[in-house]
Structure 1
Amino acid sequence: MGWRSVIITQHAKLSYSSRMMTVQNRDGINQIPIEDINLLLINTTQAVITSSLISHLAKSEVKVIFSDDMHEPICETVGYYPSTRDIDLLEQ
């Protein structure tokens, strides 16, 4: 379970590489371990995100929220299969 909330507010490219989320923007390149991320907020319409990264974020149960031009949340990712943690909670 991650503990970081990552907020993207400017033009950036987000991709996956070796269990890390790579963020390329005008300031340089940063890498964040996916297991550290709890929430990814894309608060700009100028970000590009690869499908590989979305897939690995979903597998790690990271919530991804996208916002519109007015910086209002417009959609979020929802895992297709329930996590084992959710099943354990239901059995109790």
Structure 2
Amino acid sequence: SIYALRQAKQVDPQNDMLDEKISSLTLRLQEEMMRIYQEGILEESFGNVDGDDTRQGAKQKWREILKRDIQDGVYYRKALIKMKKYGAPQ
């Protein structure tokens, strides 16, 4: 929905309400991605990078960020770096 709002802003650049909605949604998304990223870091620190049948590993957490975050998001970039570090396909 952030992408759709950004496109709408290109069509109607004077609409300040769109800026507020984009900022609000981006902030909420960033908070959620931060939580997931921190869970991934925690799993990584316990040595659970790949995960197993009973719980997700760090890679699964970072993949979730890559699926849900916006491509210019802070945690998208961080998750991408972590995935590259472990040689995992995105």
TM surpasses 0.5: no
Q: Which has the higher contact order (CA 8 A, sep 6+)?
A: 1
Per the normalisation by structure 1, the TM-score is: 0.27
Is the radius of gyration larger for structure 1 or structure 2?
2
Structure (1 or 2) with the greater helix fraction: 2
Structure (1 or 2) with the greater strand fraction: 1
Per the normalisation by structure 2, the TM-score is: 0.27
